Amino acid sequence: MKVLVACEFSGVVRDAFRSRGHDAMSCDLIPSERPGPHYQGDVRDLLADQWDLMIAHPPCTYLASMGIWWNAKRPERWPLTYQARDFVRLLWDAPIPHIAIENPIGFLNKNWRPPSQIIQPWQFGHEANKPTCLWLKGLPMLIHTKLVDKGDFYTKANGNRISKWSHITSGTSKERRAKIASRTFSGIADAMAEQWGG
């Protein structure tokens, strides 16, 4: 298959497909962290290039629940949230027969369409709690591959329980935290390549 992995700098999903013989390429505005086929630029330049499958990870800065929380404090962010949603719509409407769009729970769920499914890393072999929405076109829902413990939690001062995984980036720069949080777990990437690459 000819596979486009949009908005991916890590190469994790791209390499999962390439290791199974597919012609996969990643695309992002920044360079790839791993060697391999990568287009550094705007994914809109590539959408008409006869892909069989696109897996897209559009930026969630203005779409995730935390981003919407910030909008309440900084209303000038709202136009950026609507622009981010329009970008997701553009990806969804691309002339590609099989499309998966990945994003955290947030603005898209109620202001675009409900996700096809919500997955967790602990359903694919990783001890981490990070609910992730998938919007699927022409693709089946992912089947869990390895159920493990959800990982450790701790209780914040306000009483909320938070996954310890979500704080592995404490003390690092904002840019580094964003990069770590946006990498796809390898178990999920492998499931995508196995189940959608047939």
Task: Give me the domain span that covers residue 13.
Answer: 2-125+132-145+183-196
Instruction: State percent of the chain over pLDDT 70.
Output: 89
Residue 167 is which amino acid?
Answer: H
**What are the backbone angles phi and psi of residue 10, rounded to the nearest 5°?**
-75, -30
The verdict on residue 171 lying in a domain is: no
CATH of the domain at 189: 3.40.50
Instruction: State the pLDDT at residue 150.
Output: 82
Measured at the alpha carbon of residue 17, what is the angle toward residues 16 and 21, in degrees to the nearest 5? 120
Cα separation, 48 vs 168, whole angstroms: 38
The verdict on residue 173 lying in a domain is: no
Which residue has 């001890």 as its token pair? 127
pLDDT in tens, 53-70: 999 999 998 999 888 888
pLDDT in tens, 68-109: 888 889 999 999 999 999 999 999 999 999 999 999 999 999
- The domain total for the chain is 1
170: pLDDT strictly greater than 60 = no
